[in-house]
Structure 1
Amino acid sequence: MTPEEDFARRVTDNIRRLGEDTDFRGLTNVWVRESIRHSYAQNFTWMGRPIIQVPQDVYAIQELIWRVKPDLVIETGIAHGGSLILSASMLAMLDYCEAVEKGTPLVPTESRRRVLGVDIDIRAHNRAAIEAHPMAHMIEMLQGSSIAPDIVAAVKQRAADFGRVMLFLDSNHTHEHVLAELEAYAPLVSPGSYCVVWDSGVEDLPEGFVTDRPWGKGDNPKTALFAYLDRIAGEGRKAADGGNLKFEIDKQIESKIMITASTDGFLKRV
């Protein structure tokens, strides 16, 4: 066994033990609940733009994009644009590394990779900041409801030009809306890639904890994703690429980062 293999084995064992530690998980649940009270996720930026994610989830995004190496990242929900910038910066890093490996010149504006963001209300100041950002050449934004037929059609049309697609859902968090997003966009996810359903951890919060939103316990991204998984399992769906549409919850990611806003929300297409 090489030193690298030995280290990987020890990390795998660490992650397994973390996943089995119910006491540690309980502490994590308390921490996440209290962090929400303090709007903790609003404290962070990525390359100058507010990202509104806990740092552990940001780290998970970095690992997923590096592992999958997508050509297109679709994101519903834009807010201040930090998540778009994160995805774009990771795609740009993939381009850089590929250029180094091939010994070819890197021309950033000629990248084939893209981030496509959808939001029902892209505020003028946020749009201006995103469009002025150095990563703007890799980002396209669509304004409209992510489940409106014209927006869904536009996203599908753009996705048809890409070979490897990743999906992040982070807009309206009601069961009905997230389920409609999954129906529309999950079939676009490539084999081996991921659909991440953000804020599925709402279901784990105490009853009545969410008071200022139309979602809450029993009506949230987690209830939607389980309904979707049950539905496609029962119907034997096909994906956009013609293959079987099957997702599994990647619990290893949760066990690795421990702190996440999205328990059960990392869905891998298999």
Structure 2
Amino acid sequence: MSQEADFANYVNNNILSAAGDPGFRGLSQVWVRECIRHNYAQNFTWLGRPIIQVPQDTYAYQELIWQYRPDLIIETGIAHGGSLVMSASMLAMLDYCDAVEAGTVLDPRASRRKVVGIDIDIRAHNRAGIEAHPMHHKIQMIEGSAIDKAVVDEVHAIAEGYDRVMIFLDSNHTHDHVLAELHAYAPLVSQGSYCVVWDSGVEDLPADMCADRPWGKGDNPKTAVHAYLAGQDTANRKGADGEALQFEIDHVIEAKLMITASSDGFLRRI
């Protein structure tokens, strides 16, 4: 066994050990709950733009992008734009690595890789900040509800001709809205790629922590994920590629992170 394979096996054993430790998992749940009380996830930026993500989830974010190497990322929910900038910067890094491997000169604006962000309300100061960012040339923003038919149709039209598509859902966190987003955008996910449903951990929080929100325990991204997956065996769903559309929850990512806002939210197309 090579040293790299030996280390990969070592890491896998670490992950399995963590997954099987209820005490560790319990502590992680406590940590997530308390970090929400302190608005911890709001404290970070990505290349200068606020990202509003638990840092451990951003590790998963970049690992998935590097592993799958998408040419199109679709995100619902923009806020300050940090997530869009992160996606764009990772896509730019893929362009750079492709150029290095091919021995070619890189024109940053020539690549087709891009990220599409959708939000019902792109506030003027956030739009200005995103448009002023050096990564903006890889970002396309659409203002409107992510489940509005016109918006869905526009995104599907953009996705035509892209072979490697990844989805991140992070807008309205109610059950009905997220379930509608899954039905609208999951078919665009390419084989082996991911649809990540952020903030599915709302289901695991005390009910009073979401008292000022339209979502909460029993009505949130995780309940939508479970409802969507429960119907996939009988719905005979097809992806945009015409192939069978089936997803599974990647629990290995959760066990690796231990601290995540998105338990049961990492959906891999199989």
What is the TM-score with the length of structure 1 in the denominator? Answer: 0.99
The answer for the alignment partner of 2:114 in structure 1 is 114
Contact 1:75 1:169 in 2 (8 A): yes
The answer to whether residue 92 in structure 2 is matched with residue 98 in structure 1 is no
> Residue 208 of structure 1: CA displacement?
2.6
The answer for the alignment partner of 1:128 in structure 2 is 128
Moved over 3 A (4+): none
The answer for the alignment partner of 1:223 in structure 2 is 223
Separation (CA, whole Å) in 1 of partners of 2:168 and 2:137: 20
1:1-270 correspondence runs (5 A): 1-270=1-270
One-letter amino acid of the counterpart of residue 267, structure 1: L
Unaligned runs of 5+ in 1: none
> Residue 209 of structure 1: CA displacement?
2.2
Other structure's SS at 1:201 match: helix
Other structure's SS at 1:267 match: strand
One-letter amino acid of the counterpart of residue 156, structure 1: H
Other structure's SS at 1:108 match: coil
Separation (CA, whole Å) in 1 of partners of 2:178 and 2:5: 40
> Residue 207 of structure 1: CA displacement?
2.5
> Residue 219 of structure 1: CA displacement?
0.1
Separation (CA, whole Å) in 1 of partners of 2:51 and 2:259: 16
CA RMSD of aligned residues (A): 0.6
Separation (CA, whole Å) in 1 of partners of 2:97 and 2:229: 35
Separation (CA, whole Å) in 2 of partners of 1:233 and 1:137: 40
The aligned length equals: 270
> Residue 192 of structure 1: CA displacement?
0.5
> Residue 76 of structure 1: CA displacement?
0.1
Separation (CA, whole Å) in 2 of partners of 1:70 and 1:36: 31
Separation (CA, whole Å) in 2 of partners of 1:54 and 1:209: 17
Separation (CA, whole Å) in 1 of partners of 2:166 and 2:150: 21
Separation (CA, whole Å) in 2 of partners of 1:92 and 1:220: 33
Separation (CA, whole Å) in 1 of partners of 2:101 and 2:166: 24
Q: CA offsets per residue over residues 145-177 of structure 1, 9 Å max, x none?
A: 000010000000001121100000000000000
Contact 1:208 1:217 in 2 (8 A): no
Separation (CA, whole Å) in 1 of partners of 2:209 and 2:112: 43
